[in-house]
Amino acid sequence: MAGLDFTGSLAVTTPEQTVQKAKGETAYLPCKFSLSPEDQGPLDIEWLRLSGPDNEKVDRVIILYSVDKIYYDFCEDLKGRVHFTSNDIKSGDASITVTDVQLSDAGTYRCRVKKAPSVANRNLQLTVTDFTGSLTVTTPEQTVQKAKGETAYLPCKFSLSPEDQGPLDIEWLRLSGPDNEKVDRVVSVCLLTVTKQRSHCTLCSSLREGHGSGSPSAQACDPYRVTRIVSDPRLQKRKGSSKFFKTVQKAKGETAYLPCKFSLSPEDQGPLDIEWLRLSGPDNEKVDRVIILYSVDKIYYDFYQDLKGRVHFTSDDIKSGDASISITDVQLSDTGTSQCRVRKAPGVAKSNLQLTVFSKLLLLVTCLQ
């Protein structure tokens, strides 16, 4: 699946990339984004861990930001290790750090930014190695004392060998805590050219503040255990795909009912967030538009002129488990794949439905034949 699937004017400006770290180090996963005045819905950001041949499956929700609150520590093995790096996420920085990375942290991560009607994704690959090779930091630990206003020189000399084949990656971190176990700040650095297997690093750039807040209780990680779309026995298997779809067929001008029933469990602690998306692409990998969404007891719709006044949730009590919608006066242009996506962290589930709209005239001609 492509790393950047978007609709509207919202854009994730960070390029796709691979982050390589040795076990025990801190990984910085960047995600910078830009908004525009057309984006009117609540800002919603989630970091997901993906799996599958095409990264089509969501393994877990890593951390999320919704309506000015941060939710994290969903998974016991990540407890206390994942934080947003910015104190002002709304300014366009949804980057995170993962401290003390383990081999099990390696994989594909997705930063997903939504502010209706816009949605944008970016995938990043985290690689964790189990060894440090022959690289050695030759500078001993030391204390540097300076008066206010003076310039502090923090030495860091290291040596490499021909066995070190990966890209050169250097970080300066600001630590805190009784055992320096917490990363307060990630400091970017300038890298000098390595010659004769020896070089040095020079501190030269700005600081990115780290923080985290609003953590629900930690728990074993199994996002599909708690939030799920209730299966429908009428689902049909689409040819050439292992996924199941319900197909809804309507004549032009009729009302289409798109069902989406879901169940929750006490383990789901985050805010309830529901969105209906219009998909496209050979594998429905692209989000064309946000049709309607429910977030923190509010409904947002009428994002597009051609759907204005035609899309509504069918239930007055969505939280009871019914996120079904109706589309009135369906048009031929409404034909396509729609996705109902339900999230109440750490649970996430989605279901696709195919809407086919045909012309009444075409149906009449077929019957006469």
Say if residue 224's pLDDT is above 80. Answer: no
DSSP 364: H
Average pLDDT (45-59) is 88
For the chain, what percent of residues have pLDDT higher than 90?
A: 23
Inform me whether the pLDDT recorded for 234 exceeds 80: no
Half-sphere exposure at residue 90, Cβ-oriented, CA atoms within 13 angstroms: 8
Tokens of 224: 């599909």
Measured CA to CA, the distance from residue 145 to residue 148 in angstroms comes to 10
| Per-position b or e across 196-224, b if 16+ CB within 10 A of its CB | eeebebeeeeeebebebeeeeeeeebebe
pLDDT at 259: 92
Rounded CA separation 338/18 (Å)? 31
The predicted model gives 60-88 an average pLDDT of 89
What value does the mean pLDDT take over residues 123-150?
A: 81
pLDDT at residue 168 in the model = 65
pLDDT confidence band for 89 (50 / 70 / 90): very high
Whole-model pTM: value is 0.51
Place of tokens 């919603």: 44
Residue 331, number of CB atoms within 10 A of its CB: 13
Q: Give the lowest-confidence range in 20-24, 88-92, 201-205.
A: 201-205
The model's confidence at residue 242, banded by pLDDT at 50, 70 and 90, is very low
Band (pLDDT 50/70/90 cuts) for residue 233 is very low
- State the pLDDT at residue 129: 79
Q: How confident is the model at residue 131 (pLDDT cuts 50, 70, 90)?
A: low
Say what the pLDDT of residue 312 is. 93
**pLDDT at 60 (0 to 100):** 87
| Residue 134 in this model has a pLDDT that exceeds 70 | no
Task: Output the DSSP codes for 312-349.
Answer: EES-S-GGGTB--EEE-S--GGG-EEEEEEEEETTEEE
Mean pLDDT of the chain: 76
The pLDDT assigned to 144 comes to 87
Question: What is residue 113's predicted lDDT score, i.e. its pLDDT?
Answer: 92
pLDDT at 229: 58
Q: What is the mean pLDDT of residues 57-80?
A: 87
Mean pLDDT of 34-43: 83
- Give the DSSP H or E segment for 71: strand 69-71
Kindly tell me if the per-residue pLDDT of 171 is higher than 80. Answer: no
- Tell me the domains of the chain and their CATH numbers: 1-221 (2.60.40.10), 223-362 (2.60.40.10)
Centre a 10 Å sphere on the Cβ of residue 187 and count the other Cβ atoms it contains.
15
- Taken as a whole, the chain contains a residue count of 369
Say yes or no to pLDDT of 196 above 70: no
pLDDT of the residue at 323: 93
pLDDT-derived band at 305, boundaries 50, 70, 90: confident
Q: Which of 92-101, 279-288, 306-315 has the lowest mean pLDDT?
A: 279-288
Query: Nearest CA to 339 among 299, 261, 284, 294?
Result: 284
pLDDT at residue 240 is higher than 70 = no
Higher pLDDT, 167 or 221: 167
Query: Average pLDDT of 140-152?
Result: 86
Inform me whether the pLDDT recorded for 149 exceeds 60. Answer: yes
The per-residue pLDDT for 210 is: 35
pLDDT tens for 355-369 read 998 876 544 444 444
